[in-house]
Every structure is written in C-alpha cells, then in structure tokens.
Amino acid sequence: MLSKQMQQALVEQINKEFHSAYIYLGMEAYFENENYKGMSAWMNKQVKEEISHAMKFFRYVYERSGEVSLDTIEKVSVDYKNPLDVFKAGLEHEKFITSSIHGLYDLALAEKDYGTQELLRWYISEQVEEEANFEYIIAMLEKSGDNPGGLMILDEKLGARE
Ligand code: FEO
C-alpha cells in the first residue's frame, strides 16, 4: 500500500506526463502548420511515449491498491519561432521532468518504499535517454543553421523514428 503522500506525488506525476504529451502535441501541430512532416511524425511518437509514461504510473498506483484523481491539463502553445526553438523548449521540459522524477525518488528513499524505488529507476534511465534525444537533435539543428537543404535532410531522418 502506498503512503498518502506518495500516492499524491504519483498522481501529480501522472498529470505532468499527460501535460508533456499535450506539450508535444502542440509541437506536432506547429510542425504540421509549417509542413515539416518528418518532425511532426517524430513528435507524434513522443506524444505516444508520454501517454505510455502516464499510464505506467496509473497502473502502478492501482497495483499498489491506491487510487488516482485526474486534474486539469494546462494549456500549451502551438507557436514557435523555428524547429530549433521547438527542440530547445522540449529539452527544457525534459529537464523539468527529470528533476520531478528525482524528487519522487528522494521521497521513495525517505519512505523506504522499495517498490516505488524500483519503478522510478526505470524512469530515471528513461529520462537520461529523453534528454540525450533532444540534445542530439538540437546539435544537428545548430549545425544545419538556416540551411533549407540541411533542415529537409533532418526532417526526413526524424520522420524515420522507430
Ligand atoms: Fe515522460 Fe519525456 O518524460
């Protein structure tokens, strides 16, 4: 059984993961508006990943005989300056989520909640991968600058995301 404090913290994280999905859906909309079809497809995969992160927490709360409540999801933007602006905003958001996951892990350590620690170790690794993905794309976008040929090649490459 989860402590009340841990349950509340996990429920807040479910909201943050759905908010992440919504942020990336806003980015997908921006790429659709600008006809970057590959980047739009990449973001669509990201949206689905975030929903799966939320659902993994959701299932876990019930596995531990807890209950979830579902709060409002904050409004998001569909306006960005360019692809680099989008991925930089994505990286900043992932850093925020990483610190939120670390906060949950600190709480699980303090409570000696070993089951939740085990779950969170998966998210800690996932966050390393998430930040690395955004950092790599930012580096590629910085190399291509405003070169339309470079942007088109990158758009095609990102569209092939598994
Ligand atoms: Fe659910 Fe992108 O972290």
Residue type, 126: E
* Closest approach atom of ligand 1 to CA 50: 1
Q: pLDDT tens digits for 107-137? A: 999 999 999 999 999 999 999 999 999 999 9
The whole-number pLDDT of residue 146 equals: 75
Q: With 0-12 CB in 10 A as exposed, 13-18 as middle and 19+ as buried, what is 117?
A: middle
Q: With 0-12 CB in 10 A as exposed, 13-18 as middle and 19+ as buried, what is 153?
A: middle
The whole-number pLDDT of residue 145 equals: 81
Distance of CA 161 to the CA centre of its chain: 16
Q: How far is the CA of 51 from the centre of ligand 1 (A)?
A: 9
* Closest approach atom of ligand 1 to CA 126: 3
Q: How far is the CA of 23 from the centre of ligand 1 (A)?
A: 11
Residue 148: pLDDT band by 50, 70, 90 thresholds? confident
Residue 25 clears pLDDT 80, i.e. is over it? yes
The whole-model pTM stands at: 0.96
Query: 122 is in which domain, residue-wise?
Result: 4-71+80-159
Q: CATH code at 91?
A: 1.20.1260.10
Q: How far is the CA of 93 from the centre of ligand 1 (A)?
A: 9
What rounded mean pLDDT belongs to the chain?
97
* Closest approach atom of ligand 1 to CA 130: 2
- Please check whether residue 7 is in contact with residue 66, taking contact to mean a CB–CB distance below 8 angstroms: yes
Residue 147: pLDDT band by 50, 70, 90 thresholds? confident
The whole-number pLDDT of residue 85 equals: 97
- The answer to whether the Cα torsion of 144, 146, 147, 148 is positive or negative is positive
d(CA 10, CA 42): 27
d(CA 105, CA 159): 34
Question: What does the CA dihedral 64, 67, 70, 71 come to, rounded to 10 degrees?
Answer: -100
Q: How far is the CA of 86 from the centre of ligand 1 (A)?
A: 15
Output the ligand 1 site: residues, CB below 6 A.
17, 20, 50, 53, 94, 97, 130
CA-nearest residue for atom 1, ligand 1, is 50
Give, as one character, the DSSP assignment of residue 160. Answer: T
* 138 CB-near residues (< 8 Å, 6+ apart): 84, 87, 88, 91
The whole-number pLDDT of residue 57 equals: 98
For residue 57 the two structure tokens come to 């927490």
Q: pLDDT tens digits for 68-118? A: 999 999 999 999 999 999 999 999 999 999 999 999 999 999 999 999 999
Residue 162 clears pLDDT 90, i.e. is over it? no
* Closest approach atom of ligand 1 to CA 53: 1
> Which candidate, 14, 29, 7, 6, places its Cα nearest to that of 73?
14
- Domains held by the chain: number: 1
